[in-house]
Amino acid sequence: MDINAFFAAEFAEHESVLKATQAQVGESFARLVAAAFTAVRDGGKLMFFGNGGSAADAQHLATELAVRYVKDRAPIAAIALTTDSSALTAIGNDIGFDALFARQIEAIGKPGDVAIGITTSGRSRNILRALEAARRIGIVPAALSGGTGGDLPGLADPLLIVPSRTTARIQEMHILLGQMLCGALEQELGLV
């Protein structure tokens, strides 16, 4: 393996996906920020969820909002539905893995909240079921995805689709977009 060629190729692909994402998701990003602002301003919360690396992103972003992103400020109501091991194992065992996030949304979600599913493929059944539950309750069903968005178009709105089929590049854009959401929300709420 030529490590220098590998290094250069990874950066080149990242840059290409970055530019394509910037060109494609601006309008959806603005709508996500507006929905999150409205939810928090009106006493609601943001609920993040995903599987694997996307679960880690959900936890990361919820923490940035609940604790701090740029500087010390009032907390922003945000939670990751991936962190309660008792709920996750009970739901998975008693109801089924597909209900993992939907059941939590049904338990703690309220109209006006925002549910943000993170899935690189857009086909994760537990993400889709959670967004279906959110829609039924009157929660904004938002998502970050990649490729074509899988089964999310028509279900998630706003939907930010990273135009790539490479999981690593999609995940890189998801954390960038998520952190941009944190920064924009802090500014919109007048907290920085």
- What is the structure's pLDDT at 16? 98
CATH of the domain at 113: 3.40.50.10490
Q: What is the CA radius of gyration of the chain?
A: 17
Neighbours of 75 (CB within 10 A): 10
- What is the structure's pLDDT at 46? 98
With pLDDT > 90 as the criterion, what percentage of the chain qualifies?
97
- What is the structure's pLDDT at 191? 85
pLDDT along the chain (192 residues), means of 10: 96 98 98 98 98 98 96 94 97 98 98 98 98 98 98 98 98 98 95 80
- What is the structure's pLDDT at 65? 98
Which tens digit of pLDDT belongs to each residue from 89-98? Answer: 999 999 999 9
The sign one gets for the Cα dihedral 150, 25, 182, 114 is negative
Token pair, residue 110, equals 């309220």
Give the Cα separation of 167 and 65 in Å (integer): 25
Can you give the residue range of the structural domain that contains 124? 3-188
- What is the structure's pLDDT at 106? 98
Nearest to 48 by CA among 130, 122, 120: 130
Which tens digit of pLDDT belongs to each residue from 99-141? Answer: 999 999 999 999 999 999 999 999 999 999 999 999 999 999 9
List 143's β-bridge partners, or say none. 117, 159
Number of compact structural domains in the chain: 1
What's the pTM? 0.97
